[in-house]
Amino acid sequence: MLQAIQNEMFDLGADLATPGDDFAPGEMTLRIVQPQIDRLEAEIDSMNAALEPLRSFILPGGAAGSAHLHLARAIVRRAERSAVAAAAEVALNPLALIYLNRLSDHLFVLARLVAAGAGGDILWQPGATRG
């Protein structure tokens, strides 16, 4: 999954670097396309099926793999905010924006899956440190 995502990040970069009015992929123009988003969503559904339902906010940490995925998710969220702001100024592929949104969800669910194999999510405990 991550290898496909890494490859798609280069496609996404090329897409965002080429604003315009026509977002159809072409021989010389890379664009994010719906099947890439569909694959992310299918992987999210598959990973979620193996997890307990989320009953609390979770803290972005735990095992190294899970923490790294949470960090990657935060970076993708920041990229999504930047892309949405840029789209207010220039025409960007709407599917690229959707891809970023789904990618951040994918990384969140993958972080939970990794955490499940290393003892589980670290749950937020509201007010736990008030003493």
How much is the pTM? 0.91
Q: Within a domain: residue 128?
A: no
What tens digit of pLDDT does each residue of 74-102 get?
999 999 999 999 999 999 999 999 999 99
What tens digit of pLDDT does each residue of 11-27 get?
999 999 998 888 887 77
CA angle 27, 32, 36 (to 5 degrees): 115
Q: Within a domain: residue 43?
A: no
Question: Is the distance from CB of 107 to CB of 76 less than 8 angstroms?
Answer: yes
Q: Within a domain: residue 91?
A: yes
Q: Within a domain: residue 24?
A: no
Q: Within a domain: residue 106?
A: yes
Q: What is the reported pLDDT for 69?
A: 97
Cα dihedral 55, 111, 38, 93 sign: positive
**Total tally of structural domains belonging to the chain:** 1
Q: Within a domain: residue 55?
A: no
What CATH code is carried by the domain that includes residue 94? 1.20.1200.10
Cα Rg of the chain, angstroms: 17
Helix (H) or strand (E) holding 44: helix 34-49
Q: Within a domain: residue 94?
A: yes
Q: Within a domain: residue 107?
A: yes
Domain that holds residue 78: 65-122
